[in-house]
Amino acid sequence: MDLDIKAKRAIVGGASQGIGYAIARLLAADGVQVAMVARRSEPLDQAVARIHNETGTRTLAIPADIRKASDCERIVDTAAEAFGGIDFLVNNDGAPPLGLIAEFDDVAWDKAVQQNLMSVVRLSRHAIPHMKAAGGGRIVNITALSAIQPIARFGLSVATWAGVIGFAKTLSLEVAADNITVNTICPGRIATGRLAKVFGPDAGKGAPAADAASDADAKLAADLAKQIPLGRVGQPDEIAGLVALLLSGYGGYITGSTMHVDGGRLAGLL
């Protein structure tokens, strides 16, 4: 299927690894110019080089901390200047720490709000004028299944990503007349480097040692698969494929939606 997105211009967050990397790679393979954002410069530069070498499409590294208002503005300004505009914005990043919700202080809450919610607000606000100038655009937010099916100890993420869902739904109503769509994806258990950190027996204590990581990840994936109706954890490319569809003309009539991609794990009708 030709998604007809070649030569479009995108910003993708958390793009040095995991779901963000898979999204950036798929978009570049379809000819989209991609500004890839992440906090750490070295892995980001390596990811940008890999995707450019593999696809031949123009890619741009923007090291930035999306928790900072000034960095959000700089991300959009840098991408728009380099590409001559912005068509797509994919809001994606990591997640705040795990823990008992009543034990987090105001500092932890403020960091979570800045990372998960205010980054989406700010990046969208800065990108929308460029999308309007281009005659339309697409915004896709990546959250997690826990935003609509809360899990104990995930309170910082649940609360702030629930805010993203509310923000996105409202924004979709306000920019629809400008041919801008806004949607949110809630991935379930996806095979990324965060899997052990989030769902493993030592969740919140850091990743296992490098020499034990592969065995631990394989065992964890097998254990998690038993809890998923499809019998397996998802792959980053399966999230990237939905993102690409939403960014394409085929997704032009989808807006204000919250979609769970979870192998059937959501325990509800919606």
- CATH 3.40.50.300 for the 9-190+236-261 domain, yes or no: no
Question: Is the four-CA dihedral 147, 151, 157, 160 of positive or negative sign?
Answer: positive
Q: What is the identity of the amino acid at 65?
A: D
pLDDT digits (tens, 9 = 90+) for 22-51: 999 999 999 999 999 999 999 999 999 999
* Separation of alpha carbons 11 and 9, rounded Å: 7
pTM assigned to the model: 0.94
* Separation of alpha carbons 22 and 24, rounded Å: 6
Confidence at residue 195, expressed as pLDDT on a 0 to 100 scale = 77
DSSP letters along 203-220, please?
A: TTS-PPPHHHHHHHHHHH
98: three-class secondary structure by DSSP: coil
* Separation of alpha carbons 8 and 110, rounded Å: 34
pLDDT digits (tens, 9 = 90+) for 135-177: 999 999 999 999 999 999 999 999 999 999 999 999 999 999 9
Confidence at residue 197, expressed as pLDDT on a 0 to 100 scale = 76
* Separation of alpha carbons 84 and 94, rounded Å: 28
Angle at 9 between CA 7 and CA 14, to 5 degrees: 130
CA nearest neighbour of 137 among 187, 92, 185, 85:
85
User: Which residues partner with 184 through β-bridges?
Assistant: 141, 258
* Separation of alpha carbons 221 and 135, rounded Å: 43
The residue extents of the domains of the chain are 9-190+236-261, 191-233
Which two tokens mark 40? 């750490």
Distances from the Cα of 242 to the Cα of 3, 23, 57, 92, 231, angstroms? 12, 9, 21, 14, 20
Cβ neighbours of residue 114 under 8 Å, at least 6 residues apart?
67, 68
Confidence at residue 209, expressed as pLDDT on a 0 to 100 scale = 44
Confidence at residue 207, expressed as pLDDT on a 0 to 100 scale = 45
* Separation of alpha carbons 232 and 228, rounded Å: 6
Which two tokens mark 94? 């990591």
Cβ neighbours of residue 232 under 8 Å, at least 6 residues apart?
221, 225, 263
Q: When comparing pLDDT for 221 and 15, which is higher?
A: 15
* Separation of alpha carbons 187 and 44, rounded Å: 23
The pLDDT mean for the chain works out to 93
pLDDT digits (tens, 9 = 90+) for 170-186: 999 999 999 999 999 99
pLDDT digits (tens, 9 = 90+) for 200-250: 665 545 444 444 456 666 788 888 999 999 999 999 999 999 999 999 999
pLDDT digits (tens, 9 = 90+) for 111-131: 999 999 999 999 999 999 999
